[in-house]
Amino acid sequence: MNTTVVDTGTDEKTWGGGNNPLKASYGKMMMWFFITSDSLTFSGFLAAYGFSRFKFSEIWPIADDVFTHVPFIHGNYPMIFVAFMTFILIMSSVTMVLAVDSGHKLDKKRTTIYMFLTVLGGFIFLSSQAWEWSTFIKGDYGAVTTHGGNVIHFVDNDGNRVALKDFAIGQPKEREQHLNKNGLWFTSESNLPSYTFEEVVAGFEANPNLLVKTTYTDPATGHKTILSRNESLKELKTKGKDVVEGANLVHNEYGPPLFANYFFFITGFHGFHVSIGVMLNIIVFFNVILGTYERRRSYEMVEKVGLYWHFVDLVWVFVFTFFYLV
Amino acid sequence: MAGDAHKLEIFRGLVKFKSNTQKIWGVLILLSVVTAIEVILGIYKPEVLNSHFIGMKLLNWIFIILTIVKAYYITWDFMHMRDEVASLRRMVVWTGVFLICYIIFIILQEGDYVGEVFSNGFVKHDF
């Protein structure tokens, strides 16, 4: 039984693939080489992210100002949610390696349970990331963009962020969103922000306790520079151009457009890897239940898919560092 | 490929586990502690660590080193790199480390230069 499933009639033939040159099977070695090349892809992305950070080092947003949300809880809690996500992924790595371990002992029951927990961890991580994305896209306070493409944030006297909706004053306006049912059917535009630039300026003038927080980091404190009231008015009126709420690939309320682009691209590419990993894990999970590996007397497939799953965790460790910590 | 084929000591033999399962939980504790340190440093950002060292904040160096520590234990113990033969280990790790160091060096060097041109030079971007 063993030989009919595992081997392809090439045993002991050196040039037929019957040997294991590095004491690792063909499949396992190829998984390692795939991981090497995939890690180069990810380092290419992260290096490109680093390039833009060095290029825009003064105006790059500070992660603790951007990722501050925790589901079901209001308030300002940087790092907490993403630490939770990291822990989930490490935990599912642990259940994976436990599944591999039980597989070595040919323990079908335990392998099944651990594979199930791994898949579950993968789903929790993916839904957390979906929540993270939707919060990021929806935005929080809103901002004004300048002609040069920078963003301007608003704070009160204590340095707390103030949302546009809390101070913008409605102005008579004639600007309507162009929908494709109203004119040329093949043109339309994206949603307009809730407030116009004029409304924000009017609101800012009417509230003397508001200040402008520029996008420039003060090298001494590591925080963004807050201007005095007079400078704030000048900054807003001379440089301000548009209102932006949330984030898309064209502009975002957090900082340079590239910031959101990299966020979507790198965490998206990682999330794509996680989805593939969950899919492979589900396939392996059913194969374990059906007894495929039991009949082979070898659970090596669990180990190979496990390598991929750990790699996904490994990449997240780096994404976590470079997007949320550094 | 029996369970007893695993190398069970970490920290160069300082800590030796009784079984592979025990080692897995031990490594989990280590990874959790390192992550917790990172998160706490990330939230409080102590002033002392704001000083610069080779072009980057001391704090950022700490984060990157801790990340590499985590990557080491994930690869060595979860992916069982510790149990592979040295030649496979070197093929995978040295290739990656060399190429990654190379791309990071050239790209960050260039990014720093472009940033200098932006801030000291002839491009106006704040208007």
Q: pLDDT tens digits for A19-41?
A: 777 888 888 999 999 999 999 99
Percent of chain A beyond pLDDT 70?
94
pLDDT digits (tens, 9 = 90+) for A4-23: 445 555 555 666 666 777 88
In this prediction, residue A11 carries a pLDDT of 56
From A33, A239, A303, residue closest to B127, measured CB to CB = A239
DSSP B63-115: HHHHHHHHHHHIIIIIS-GGGS-HHHHHHHHHHHHHHHHHHHHHHHHHHHHHH
Average per-residue pLDDT in chain A?
89
ipTM for the complex?
0.91
CB-CB under 8 Å, A48 with B107: yes
Q: Of B1, B49, B52, B79, which to mutate for an interface test with A (greatest number of A Cβ within 10 Å)? A: B79
Q: Is B36 helix (H, G, I), strand (E, B) or coil?
A: helix
DSSP A223-253: SEEE--HHHHHHHHHHHEEEEE-SB-SS-BS
Please list, in sequence order, all residues whose beta carbon lies within 8 angstroms of the beta carbon of residue A10, skipping any fewer than 6 positions away.
Answer: A16, A17, A18
pLDDT digits (tens, 9 = 90+) for A176-234: 788 888 777 777 777 778 888 888 999 999 999 999 999 898 887 888 999 999 999 99
Confidence grade of residue A1 (pLDDT, cut at 50, 70, 90): very low
Residue type, B47: E
Q: Domain A25-139+258-325: which topology?
A: Four Helix Bundle (Hemerythrin (Met), subunit A) (1.20.120)
Residue type, A17: G
Instruction: Give every residue of chain B whose pLDDT is below 50, as ranges.
Output: 1-4
Confidence grade of residue A243 (pLDDT, cut at 50, 70, 90): very high
Q: Which residues pair with A247 in a beta bridge?
A: A252
Q: How many helices (H) and strands (E) does chain B have?
A: 3, 4
Question: Across residues A242-268, what is the average pLDDT?
Answer: 92
Give me the residue spans of the domains in chain A: 25-139+258-325, 143-173+180-245
Check whether A129 has a pLDDT greater than 90.
yes
Please report, for residues A203, A239, B12, the alpha-carbon distance to residue A197 in angstroms, rounded to integers and kept in the order given: 10, 11, 62
In this prediction, residue A24 carries a pLDDT of 84
In this prediction, residue A4 carries a pLDDT of 45
Check whether A121 has a pLDDT greater than 90.
yes
Burial per residue of A223-239, b for 16 or more beta-carbon CB atoms within 10 angstroms, e otherwise? ebebbeeeebbebbeeb
pTM for this model (two decimals): 0.89
Q: Is B52 on the interface with A (CB under 8 A)?
A: no
* DSSP assigned state of A215: E
